[in-house]
């Protein structure tokens, strides 16, 4: 199928240049980053495509790929109102076509967690900017190997592609506001993260085969979100953990409950309690300090889902704000902005938004992996693996 845009370096072009096969394109369209979506599952259909519709003035969907022709075409049908000329690709041949298509600048990878890293590296080697869905990897070992490969071709290749991980919590306005409010709580005294999830048969991801066969099941797949929220607000890394886990709900893969004590690098202690499926779901982060307390709680206000941010001052007053969910939109917007800036630099290394870097995603995985390792050792303390910034491993 033909695309609505000619192949180009992605830089702006004149009206005369913006012609392909007799078709004249607008200068504005020619400047936009062109992307492919790999995956056509529930999250693509219910989250990515609606968000891309909102952002369609700033990006062009050129291709949607899936393992089967049927699912690729079904997803493309949902996007046809704002991207009528989107191509459909499927199977191994479709992946080859996308990797070899120089007109595609970036790839959104929304696939099973077990294959995302390999597909991401394949697209990065082809010079594509990549944002892959969380988790960053199924283990720190896989993440380390992937980062080593990535640093190697950043050093040796003319392409300097961006590798981002979509966890969205670091882009939620509620967590950005909470990070600012942390300055008001004084010296940090303790942190509580309570996650009582709702992963039951009514959840669209409950029967997801890859999640059920994934390392640590839903604890890792869901848990990275809550660790990301904790880390972005606290502003310090988690240094050590001690945890126990158990398996109660046999309809879920083990473990489905984990209780951990952690200590930040600044010495502040905290607890992380996660239940994958609870009859009364509740999710909140609470940061207690010498001058006040900050709480971020997930909920619903006037029919809108989002987060309430509450700051309790020492005099007993409470400052409250509500922020509707918008992390997925903000994260994609940042990625497309980074692609545009990288294109402008003509292949030179561009410093992308750090909140979505692969390293940040790997650090979230490392915390949960340490908790699971501690649990296997009956709660013995475990140090969290350290992941250094991408730039630290690049050769001069």
State the distance between the two ends of the chain, measured CA to CA, in whole angstroms: 43
Total domains in the fold of the chain: 2
Per-residue pLDDT at 395: 58
Q: Is residue 393 part of a domain?
A: no
> What's the confidence (pLDDT) of residue 8?
30
Its pTM surpasses 0.85 = yes
The per-residue pLDDT for range 49-96, each reduced to its tens digit, is: 999 999 999 999 999 999 999 999 999 999 999 999 999 999 999 999
pLDDT tens column, 122-166: 999 999 999 999 999 999 999 999 999 999 988 888 778 999 999
pLDDT tens-digit series, residues 245-288: 999 999 999 999 999 999 999 999 999 999 999 999 999 999 99
Mean of per-residue pLDDT scores for the chain: 89
Same domain? For 318 and 343 the reply is no
One domain for residues 258 and 371: yes
State how far the Cα of 293 lies from the Cα of 236, in Å rounded to an integer.
17
Range 308-326 average pLDDT: 96
- 53 lies in some domain: yes
Q: How far apart are CA 265 and CA 54, in angstroms?
A: 40
CATH for 349: 3.40.50.720
Q: Region of 91 please: left (phi>0), alpha (psi -120 to 50) or beta.
A: left
What is the residue range of 124's domain?
Answer: 19-168+329-357
Q: Report the C-alpha gap between 3 and 11 in whole angstroms.
A: 17
Q: List the CATH number of the domain containing 307.
A: 3.30.360.10
105 and 62, same structural domain? yes
Residue 232 shares a structural domain with residue 371? yes
The mean pLDDT of 240-246, rounded to a whole number, is 98
- When pLDDT is averaged across residues 94-122 and rounded to a whole number, the result is 95
Asked if 175 and 67 sit in the same domain, the reply is: no
Q: Please check the confidence at residue 15 and state whether its pLDDT lies above 80.
A: no
Are 116 and 54 members of one domain?
yes
Euclidean distance between CA atoms 37 and 51, whole angstroms: 13
Close Cβ partners of 263 (under 8 Å, ≥ 6 residues apart): 238, 239, 240, 241, 269, 270
């Amino acid at each position: 199928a033909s695309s609505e845009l000619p192949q180009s370096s992605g830089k702006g072009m004149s009206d005369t240049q913006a012609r392909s096969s007799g078709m004249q394109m607008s200068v504005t369209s020619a400047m936009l980053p062109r992307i492919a979506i790999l995956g056509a599952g529930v999250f693509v259909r219910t989250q990515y495509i609606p968000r891309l519709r909102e952002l369609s003035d700033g990006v062009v969907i050129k291709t949607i790929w899936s393992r089967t022709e049927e699912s690729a075409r079904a997803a493309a049908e949902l996007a046809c109102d704002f991207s009528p000329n989107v191509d459909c690709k499927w199977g191994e041949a479709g992946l080859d076509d996308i990797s070899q298509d120089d007109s595609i600048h970036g790839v959104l990878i929304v696939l099973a967690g077990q294959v995302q890293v390999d597909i991401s590296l394949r697209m990065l080697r082809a010079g594509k900017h990549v944002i892959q869905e969380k988790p960053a990897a199924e283990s720190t070992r896989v993440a380390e190997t992937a980062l080593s490969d990535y640093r190697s071709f950043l050093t040796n290749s003319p392409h300097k592609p961006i590798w981002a991980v979509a966890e969205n919590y670091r882009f939620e306005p509620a967590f950005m506001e909470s990070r600012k409010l942390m300055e008001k709580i004084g010296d940090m005294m303790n942190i509580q993260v309570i996650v009582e999830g709702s992963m039951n048969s009514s959840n669209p991801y409950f029967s997801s085969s890859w999640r059920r066969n994934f390392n640590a099941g839903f604890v890792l797949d869901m848990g990275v979100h809550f660790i990301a929220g904790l880390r972005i607000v606290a502003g310090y890394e988690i240094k050590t953990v001690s945890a126990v886990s158990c398996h109660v709900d046999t309809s879920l893969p083990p473990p489905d409950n984990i209780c951990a004590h952690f200590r930040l690098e600044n010495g502040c202690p905290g607890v992380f309690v996660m239940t994958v499926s609870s009859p009364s779901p509740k999710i909140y982060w609470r940061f207690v300090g010498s001058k006040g307390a900050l709480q971020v709680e997930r909920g619903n206000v006037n029919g809108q889902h989002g987060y309430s941010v509450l700051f309790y001052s020492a005099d007993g007053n409470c400052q409250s704000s509500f922020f509707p969910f918008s992390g997925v939109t903000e994260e994609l917007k940042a990625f497309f902005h980074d692609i545009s800036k990288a294109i402008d630099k003509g292949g030179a290394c561009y410093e992308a938004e750090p909140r979505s870097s692969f390293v940040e995603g790997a650090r979230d995985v490392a915390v949960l992996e340490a908790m699971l390792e501690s649990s296997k050792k009956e709660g013995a303390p475990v140090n969290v693996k350290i992941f250094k910034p991408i730039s630290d491993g690049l050769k001069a």
